[in-house]
Every structure is written in C-alpha cells, then in structure tokens.
Amino acid sequence: MQIVRYTYCWEGAVAADFTLDAVRRRYTALADLLNARSWRCLVAYDTRFLSAQIAADCYQGLRTRGARVVLSSTPLPRPAIDVALDRSIVDSAVIVSAGNRDYWLNGLIVIAPAPGLNPFVDDAAPSEHPPFPADVSDAEIVDVRQTYVESLRRAIDVDLARQASLTMFVDVMNGTTGGVIPSVLGDGAQTKTIEINRDPDAWFGRQAPHPHTAPLVRLRKLVRESDSHLGVAISADGRALGVVDNDGELAPPLDIALLLAQYLNRQYRQHGLVIVPASAASATWVHTWEVQTGLSVEFAEQPAVRIAEARAAQQLLVGVTDDGQPTIGRTGGLGDAPLTALLLAELVARRNAKLRVLREKLRQS
C-alpha cells in the first residue's frame, strides 16, 4: 500500500514576511514535530533568492534541537524529493521554496506522512547564532539528485532515447532541473539535448517560473527555426510541463496526456484511468479515442485531487492538472515533468516521427 503524504505550506514576500527571523521562529515547532514522530527529515531547497543559505540555517537550527535531519547537496525539483520519500531515504521533508509562485515570494513546505499537522507555529524566540552559517562542513549531505537521475533512467528505455538522432530543446526556467535530462541520457548520446535558461537566477527573469504563465517565446522560436523534434519547458520546481511541437506551437496538456497514455498502453501494456481537467471536455474527438484505444478518460473538476486518489489506489495510467502537472501512474511522483519529457522523447524516437505529426494522428483517431 502506497504511503499517502500531506503537504503544508507557509510563504510570504521576501524581506517583508519571509525573513530569516520569521523562519527561525518556526524551528522549535518543526523540531518538536520531527522529534515526536521520530522522522528523519530531508532539508531541501530550490533556486530562489537565498534558498540555499536559509536551508543550511534550517538544517543547523533543527539539528541543534535534536531533529534527525540531512541536507540536500543541490537544489532539488519536487519529483526528486518524492523519489527520496518513496524509497524511504527519509520520512519527511522541509523545502525552502514557494513552488512556482512569483519571484518575490519564498516559503517553507513540509511534506509528511500524517494529516492535520500544524508545523509552522510561530512560538519561539529567534536563534542567536549569526545570520546564515558560513560553514556547514559537518552537515550530513545527501545527493538526492543522483538518486532521481538513476530512477529516471530505470523508468524509460534509456538506450532508445540515447541512440535516436533527436534534437530536443529544454527550457529549465532557471529552476531546479538544470542538467537533469542531459544527465539521464549521459555522455555520448546521439540525441541532442539543448538546455536554455539554465543559469541560476534567484528572480527567474522576473516572471513566475511556470510554463503555463510564461510566453516561452525563445523556446518556440528555437524549436521552429531549427526544425527540432520537440521542445519542453519545465517549471522551477520540476512539476509542471509545457510542450512545444516542431512547428513551434504549444501542445495542449490533453494531447500530451492522451499521446502518452496510448503509448504506455500499447508499448508496455499498462492500463488505468486517464484523468484530465474538466475544461478539456469540449474536445469531442476524445470519445472516439476512448473507443479505439479501450482506455477511459475522466474529466475531473479537481484533477489534482483525483490524480492523487487514483495513484494511491494504483488505478492511474496518466493524469494532468489544469496547469500542466503530469503524473505517470506506474513511475515517478505527483507532477513529474522531467519523467514526462523523457517519455515523450522515447515516444518520438520509437515512432520515428516529429511531435506535430503524432498530434495530428492522435486527433484523427
């Protein structure tokens, strides 16, 4: 039985609400929670302004209070943290992040296997040690990113993806997934992966680091003018995915979900529900697709809730939310954009066709 985990968030505007002092005032409650449950906790962070430094401070603050904590060695996408939890590397996680919210926000996210917690009680005096630890050499550092990369290699036909002569642009939106897809494919791959917006930028180019709110002008232009096979944009936290076909057009999440569901069913004999937002119900051709594939599509008013429920019950094949967070039922965590991007590359390689052609065939099912 899969463990159900719950997410708790506290966030605020940087330097106004989200300050080092405000974070430190929450250490006692966090440590008490971890100690009471005997949870081993991963302290993780994203690429936002000062997230790494605050995570190091959080690690030291929790450790001083007796909590069993480890500190991530790199910024982590959320799917990588899900892998660490699923593999029981840790029992819980504290992430210095505001997800895909605007660049002036930051926060703390707690992921724990228990409902109804109140982990952000502001009831302790600020710590007295100096702002931001200069040395965390005594920290127990863990390389969760490499564990995630290895899990992605096992989840796809990596040899096929490596040996296909594909060109794929990847916009990592200055976030946590820079280098992940090239690392999965490895050195010497014939598939050419070109990353853009890879350099860390704590302000994310002064836009929300999310592919469904950004225009993706540069990505679309590069894919179209180079006649590449496809392009993908991955949100800063690694959960949401935007897909550009070889004509430079944005592919709707519905198209991506059905393409992958059909591929996983035919190639790997996987079955289950395909869950998409209710807003996609106007696509009348979907019923024909259901008849021809034998798969069922559920148009959910709250797709994120239904995807989590179906995944926990092992009934999910593919799901996607309104803002483009894809979940593959048999592998990965909730909202695993790098995994979905790699499966798309595998699909394009196996079909030996560009994404635009595959989309047109899908709608003609």
* Tens-place pLDDT, residues 300-329: 999 999 999 999 999 999 999 999 999 999
Q: Is the pLDDT of residue 201 over 80?
A: yes
Separation between Cα atoms, residue 88 and residue 348, nearest integer Å: 34
**pLDDT for residue 181:** 97
**pLDDT for residue 229:** 93
- Summarize pLDDT for 29-46 with one digit per residue, the tens: 999 999 999 999 999 999
Q: Is the pLDDT of residue 276 over 70?
A: yes
DSSP bridge partners of 275: 298, 319
**Looking at residues 49-73, what average pLDDT do you find?**
95
Separation between Cα atoms, residue 137 and residue 279, nearest integer Å: 50
**pLDDT for residue 128:** 61
**pLDDT for residue 198:** 93
- Confidence tier at 332 by pLDDT (50, 70, 90): confident
Separation between Cα atoms, residue 333 and residue 81, nearest integer Å: 9
Separation between Cα atoms, residue 219 and residue 212, nearest integer Å: 13
In this structure, is the dihedral angle defined by the CA atoms of residues 143, 149, 152 and 153, taken in order, positive or negative? negative
**pLDDT for residue 53:** 94
Domains in the chain, ordered, with CATH? 6-144 (3.40.120.10), 156-363 (3.40.120.10)
- Confidence tier at 341 by pLDDT (50, 70, 90): very high
**pLDDT for residue 125:** 57
Main-chain dihedrals φ then ψ at residue 60, nearest 5 degrees: -65, -40
**pLDDT for residue 140:** 87
**pLDDT for residue 126:** 53
Measured between alpha carbons, how far apart are the two ends of the chain, in Å?
Answer: 36
Q: Is the pLDDT of residue 2 over 80?
A: no
Please state, as a whole number, how many other Cβ atoms lie within 10 Å of the Cβ of residue 217.
Answer: 9
Q: Of residues 12 and 364, which shows the higher confidence score?
A: 12
Please state, as a whole number, how many other Cβ atoms lie within 10 Å of the Cβ of residue 267.
Answer: 13
Distance between alpha carbon 222 and the CA centroid of its chain, in Å?
24
Q: Is 269 exposed, middle or buried (0-12, 13-18, 19+ CB in 10 A)?
A: exposed
Q: Is the pLDDT of residue 261 over 90?
A: yes
Mean pLDDT, the chain, rounded, equals 92
- Summarize pLDDT for 74-96 with one digit per residue, the tens: 999 999 999 999 999 999 999 99
Answer for the pair 55, 71: CB distance below 8 angstroms, yes or no: yes
pTM equals 0.88
**pLDDT for residue 290:** 95
Answer for the pair 303, 327: CB distance below 8 angstroms, yes or no: no
Residue bearing tokens 């894919």: 223
Beta strands of the chain (E only): which ranges? Answer: 6-13, 40-45, 68-72, 92-96, 105-112, 141-142, 167-171, 192-196, 230-234, 241-245, 250-251, 273-277, 296-300, 316-320, 326-328
Main-chain dihedrals φ then ψ at residue 72, nearest 5 degrees: -65, 145
- Confidence tier at 243 by pLDDT (50, 70, 90): very high
**pLDDT for residue 129:** 61
- Summarize pLDDT for 114-163 with one digit per residue, the tens: 999 999 988 655 556 666 676 777 788 899 999 999 999 999 999 999 99
DSSP letter assigned to residue 237: T
Of the candidates 332, 327, 359, which has an alpha carbon nearest to the alpha carbon of residue 229?
A: 359
**Looking at residues 208-218, what average pLDDT do you find?**
93
Q: At what angle do helices 285-293 and 253-268 cross, to 10 degrees?
A: 10
